[in-house]
Amino acid sequence: MTSVLPTMDCYEAMRAKCNYWQKCNYWRKFISYLIEIIAPVDAPLEKIFEKVRKRAPWIQRQLQFFSQFQPRTPRRSFVAGETHLYLGRQYKLKVVSHLQQEVKLYRGKLVVQSHRPKDSAITKELVEEWYLARAHTKFRERLIQCQQRFPKPENYEPTGIVVRQLQQRWGSMTAGGKLVLNRSLIIDYVIMHELCHLRYDNHGPAFYKLLDRVMPD
Ligand SMILES: [Zn+2]
């Protein structure tokens, strides 16, 4: 697991980006694809960095939690005997011929039942589907936790969840109230942010006031 704690280099990168984005009313920018910082335009940089430093253990915990859904390092070829990561543990891949195509964890192994066990493309497809389904379950758990932080009657309910591989964004809320989340990395903050969009479809002061209220630290 790579350390993603902000290092001095990272701060330097942030500083450069902050200077740039401070020109906007509210600036927001991804620092690499891992950390997003949102601050009012008049917040002094030192204060922002201090907050990030203080929150570093929490950020680290979130990233560690969600890194378990990223099994693709190093590149896998989806052949038997290879190890795959799930929930921070390594599982040896076992591919067996079976009428019913299915993936399961069994006795410390990631077992893939396939119609064509020699076809690594099919194995890959099955394993990725399995990871996605597992991610869905975890995201639902997080969503329930996040929703509980909204007091009634503000505990808005999205009409659905879509988990997708997004290149540029962590998440979004569709006009129809569907919560779209990035399959690669989701943290509570993103879910909370998007849930607030069920009430406000912009990033105005009222939006951030609500976000601050339901996510005070
Ligand atoms: Zn937003």
Per-residue pLDDT of the chain (217 residues; tens, 9 = 90+): 233 333 333 444 444 444 433 333 333 333 334 466 777 778 888 888 888 888 777 777 766 666 655 544 567 889 999 988 776 678 999 999 999 999 999 999 999 999 999 999 999 999 989 988 888 888 888 899 999 999 888 888 899 888 877 766 778 888 899 998 876 665 787 888 899 999 998 888 899 899 889 987 6
Single-letter amino acid, residue 193: H
Query: How is residue 78 annotated by DSSP?
Result: -
Whole-number Å distance between alpha carbons of 203 and 157: 19
> What SS3 state is found at 161?
strand
Alpha-carbon dihedral angle through residues 190, 196, 197, 198, given to the nearest 10 degrees: 120
Contact 111, 100 (CB under 8 A): no
Contact 116, 96 (CB under 8 A): no
Instruction: With 0.75 as the threshold, say if the pTM is over it.
Output: no
Cα(172) to ligand 1 centroid in Å equals: 7
**Topology of domain 148-214, per CATH?**
Zincin-like (3.30.2010)
Cα(170) to ligand 1 centroid in Å equals: 10
| Segment 105-111 long-range contacts (CB within 8 Å, at least 24 positions apart) | 110/84, 110/86
Structure tokens at 121: 């493309």
**How far is CA 112 from its chain centroid?**
26
| Segment 42-48 long-range contacts (CB within 8 Å, at least 24 positions apart) | 45/15, 45/18, 45/19, 48/18
Cα(189) to ligand 1 centroid in Å equals: 11
Cis peptide leading into residue 6 (ω within 30°): no
Burial class (CB in 10 A: 0-12, 13-18, 19+), 35: buried
Single-letter amino acid, residue 153: P
Closest CA to 135 of 82, 71, 55, 199: 71
Alpha-carbon dihedral angle through residues 178, 104, 65, 151, given to the nearest 10 degrees: 40
Considering the chain, tell me which residue range(s) the CATH 3.30.2010.10 domain(s) occupy.
148-214
Cα(194) to ligand 1 centroid in Å equals: 6
Cα(5) to ligand 1 centroid in Å equals: 24
Contact 188, 62 (CB under 8 A): yes
Q: Which residue has the tokens 């939690």?
A: 65
Cα(45) to ligand 1 centroid in Å equals: 22
Cα(72) to ligand 1 centroid in Å equals: 28
> What SS3 state is found at 116?
coil
